[in-house]
Amino acid sequence: MASAQDHPNILLVMADDMGFSDLGTYGGEIETPNLDTLAASGMQFLDFHVSVACSPTRAMLMSGNDNHIAGLGAMGELLAPNQKGQPGYEGYLNDRVASMAEVFKGSGYHTYMTGKWHLGHSEGWYPYDRGFDQTFTMLVGAASHWDDMLGVYPDDDPAKYAQNGVPISALPADFYSSRSYADMLMDMIRSNRGDGKPFLGYLAFTAGHDPLHVPEPWLSKYAGAYDQGYETLRRTRWVKAKSLGIVPATAKLAPLPSFVLPWDTLSDKERAYEARSMETYAGMIEATDYHYGRVVDFLDDIDELDNTIIIFLSDNGSNPWYSENYPGAEDPEFARQFDNSYENIGHPLSNIAYGPGWAVTSASPLDRFKNTVSEGGIRVPFMMAGPGIVQGGKSDAFAYVWDVLPTLLDITGSDYPADKEQPRGRSMLPVLSGQAKAVYAEDDLVGGEVGGGKWMRQGSFKAVMIPAPYGDGVWRLFNTDIDPGEVNDLSGDMPQLLTSLMAAWEDYAEDVGVVPAE
């Protein structure tokens, strides 16, 4: 069994709906010193991919497998009638796979989780049922960051929480998500200090998912910072990302999508409201960085930091929805709970999301955002640091969220249960240790699907089909190494490659059991 002396601890930190360039180390203006330090102390990935939405990504993270194998072929809330009951569309992390917690618990680790689960809302499928020793978790996709437990739409209102497998009917009166989840995880780690066993700690922040909530001093920190509008800022981030080497110096900026209203067409009142929403979002991201930093300081104080692998990522790209876009959110009985006035943005009882203009900005210099298989939807920040990992490195190697668990198995020498569907991901350790430049060979094929969005990657090339409402359903081909903004469609120049990748996607869909919604 594992001991802390010869097995590293694991701190897995996930942000929710954070855009590719929100962090300072990826070109953003938001102050994120603790996560910037993580990037500098380990390996920063520039071409790391996830799924288009929360729960499919989390299923792959936990299992090392494709979301259709692990039970989240579609988000449980969005299952079409013909998908319900189909294998891979259970709407929860199914028992075909083992969870990361089950794997490491079996290897002698303590396993702790705080924050967002979103891989099973009913008893029997809570994180406590899937290998975590201690948990305090929000079970659903999103909710208020305060103690009121208000959901973002009627079906999840009030939001569901559980502690150690028991549903919770009330949150602590001083609850604020980022602070409270950090505090609770530190308490869990502290509870078993000195017994010689390593730990897996999964800190699944619900920030920066809407509703946009943050206390002072962060609520006022960015006052006036976004008055210039989203078009100006997305260009600023594009330039900064190029100067930092996050994207090639020749990378073009994707055009503003047609469904995003130009800033100068908005009224003064609309611009003020939009700017205030982004100010609040920026404060949430900085507050999350701060509370993550508290956990790192705690590990340092208890002399565990040097023996801890730290991973940080976002579950998908930035969210393009406004609050009223959620199913049923405009129902009068539900909506009357909230005060969405300008003065109340960021405070309790507000239910605000920042919309598509700021979403394309958070994703800049990539194209589009969450819920699409564009790079802005599935390419996210990813950093990893700890024993045996190169310090201060940047990797442009393509990697995928299902690679995280195989990497940790490789680092710790742990075994995945033989009676479960084996992980499809690859170990990133050769890249992390500086022994290799790539995780995948040039001819390897990796693809995905959620909600009808399709993509297939081979080497530098990505075939992609984005359905309505954010695309036109036409397959296109891009070299995303040199064109991460997906501006230059190569399908006319390389039709045979596009045809080959489309056929590869059909093979993938048959292999994992994709069931198109009807």
Per-position b or e across 401-413, b if 16+ CB within 10 A of its CB: bbbbbbbbbbbbe
Residue 94 sits at φ, ψ, to 5 deg, of -80, 175
pLDDT tens sequence across 88-109: 999 999 999 999 999 999 999 9
The CB-based long-range contact list for 463-471 (8 Å cut-off, 24+ gap) reads: 463/497, 463/498, 463/501, 463/502, 463/505, 464/373, 464/374, 465/373, 466/368, 466/372, 466/373, 466/374, 469/259, 470/257, 470/259, 470/320, 470/368, 470/371, 470/372, 470/374, 471/372, 471/374
| 3-state secondary structure at position 13 | strand
| pLDDT at 4 exceeding the cut of 70 | no
Structure-block tokens of residue 466: 């984005």
97 vs 363: CA distance, rounded Å: 32
Q: Under a CB-based contact definition with an 8 Å cutoff, are residues 143 and 150 in contact? A: yes
136 has which bridge partners?
A: 114, 163
In whole angstroms, what separates CA 154 from the centre of its chain?
24
Q: What is the model's pLDDT at position 491? A: 97
The three-state secondary structure class of 477 is strand
Q: Element (H or E) spanning 104, and its range?
A: helix 100-106
- Residue 3 scores a pLDDT above 70: no
Is the bond preceding 417 in cis, omega lying within 30 degrees of 0?
A: no
Supply the DSSP string of 480-500, one letter for each residue.
TTT-TT--S--TTT-HHHHHH
> pLDDT of 106-155, one tens digit each?
999 999 999 999 999 888 999 999 999 999 999 999 999 999 999 999 99
The conformation of residue 451, written as its DSSP 8-state character, comes to: T
Residue 1: pLDDT band (50, 70, 90) is: low
User: Using CA of residue 297, residue 300, residue 304, residue 307, what is the dihedral sign?
Assistant: positive
Cis amide prior to 158 (ω within 30 degrees): yes
pLDDT of residue 76: 85
What is the rounded average pLDDT of the residues 64-80? 93
- Report, in angstroms and rounded to the nearest whole number, the Rg of the chain calculated over CA atoms: 21
Mean pLDDT of 59-68: 98
pLDDT (average), residues 78-97: 94
pLDDT at 5 exceeding the cut of 70: no
The pLDDT value given to residue 2 = 60
Q: Are 213 and 145 in contact (CB under 8 A)?
A: yes
CA–CA gap between residue 234 and residue 361 (Å, rounded): 5
Rounded CA separation 366/360 (Å): 8
Q: Output the pTM of the full model.
A: 0.96
Separation CA 21–CA 43 (nearest Å): 17
Who's near 30: CB < 8 A, 6+ residues apart? 22, 23, 24, 222, 282, 285, 286
E strand map for 31-109: 43-49
Q: Please indicate whether residue 118 is annotated as part of the active site.
A: yes
Phi, psi of 270, rounded to the nearest 5 degrees: -65, -40
pLDDT, tens only, 402-439: 999 999 999 999 999 999 999 999 999 999 999 999 99
Element (H, E) at 299: helix 268-301
| CB neighbour list of residue 76: distance below 8 Å, 6 or more residues apart | 55, 90, 91, 92, 121
Q: Choosing from 54, 110, 145, 291, which is the catalytic residue? A: 54
User: What's the confidence (pLDDT) of residue 288?
Assistant: 98
Q: Which of 110, 118, 145, 213 is catalytic?
A: 118
**Does the annotation count 68 as an active-site position?**
no
C-alpha span between 273 and 166 (Å, rounded) = 40
Per-residue pLDDT band for 77 (boundaries 50, 70, 90) equals confident
**Does the structure show a pLDDT above 60 at 388?**
yes
What confidence tens digit (pLDDT) does each residue in 238-262 have? 999 999 999 999 999 999 998 899 9
According to DSSP, the residues that pair with 450 across neighbouring strands are 453
Q: Which is it for the CA torsion 113, 118, 122, 125, positive or negative?
A: negative
pLDDT in tens, 290-333: 999 999 999 999 999 999 999 999 999 999 999 999 999 999 99
